[in-house]
Amino acid sequence: MTFSQVLLENALEYSPHARQLKARFRPTSGRRRPPKEPTADVHVVYTDDNEPKFTISDPCLPPGRETSLTDRDLIISRSLSATRQASRIPPVVFQGTGNLTLCRAFQKTLLKKDMPCPKAPCSMNGVHQPPIDFNKVKFYAMSEYWYTSADLDNRVNTYDFSSFEKHAKVRFAKCIF
């Protein structure tokens, strides 16, 4: 098979979807109107040394769990390194609230679920994904999918979304450390 035959076969395979594959020029965000994005609570707290510390409520962390972001985490390149160190960016602390509903809203924003969907259903960023019937199709969880499920004590032989969601709600409602 020659290179041109491969190109022709691919072109024929994708021709029914040509309308979706055309390049369109839009604002860099790709959105026609601003989405309704969830908001986070940000608090400025002063330490014993009178240094500011930003605290952001994170609904995707379990209640009471904290994780920090320091100026070292914010260094993007060597040229920005000196500027960021000199400006002494105060530490940012993400404090868990364990709110599964709000966490899902943040995840939908991250996955751009608000983008126009030319052919439903769309998985993320307006990209079509054929529907999957998990009652008829086996779902093989690999890598992070399996570990996430195992972390939720959802160790079953077959994937069951309702069971996964039930375990996630229990896990989000309590502190895990």
In the predicted structure, residue 172 carries a pLDDT above the cut 60: yes
Number of continuous H segments (helices) and E segments (strands) in the chain:
6, 6
Q: Confidence class of residue 105 from pLDDT cuts 50, 70 and 90?
A: confident
Is 121 part of a structural domain of the chain? Answer: no
**Do 105 and 139 reside in the same domain of the chain?**
no
Is 21 part of a structural domain of the chain? Answer: no
Q: Confidence class of residue 106 from pLDDT cuts 50, 70 and 90?
A: confident
Q: What is the arithmetic mean of pLDDT over 67-79?
A: 62
Is 1 part of a structural domain of the chain? Answer: no
pLDDT of residue 75: 53
Overall number of domains in the chain = 2
For residue 84, give Cα distances in angstroms to 63, 70, 91. 31, 11, 12
Radius of gyration of the chain (CA): 22
Is 18 part of a structural domain of the chain? Answer: no
Is 175 part of a structural domain of the chain? Answer: yes
Is 164 part of a structural domain of the chain? Answer: yes
Higher pLDDT, 140 or 93: 93
Q: What is the arithmetic mean of pLDDT over 118-125?
A: 88
DSSP result, 157-169: SS--HHHHHHHHH
Is 25 part of a structural domain of the chain? Answer: no
Closest to 60 measured CA to CA, from 29, 78, 38: 38
Domain span including residue 149: 132-177
DSSP category for residue 17:
G
Is 23 part of a structural domain of the chain? Answer: no
Whether the full predicted model's pTM is greater than 0.75, yes or no, is no
Q: Confidence class of residue 43 from pLDDT cuts 50, 70 and 90?
A: low
Per residue in 140-163, pLDDT (tens digit) is 666 666 666 776 665 656 667 777
- Residue ending a domain, among 92, 116, 140, is 116
Higher pLDDT, 5 or 96: 96
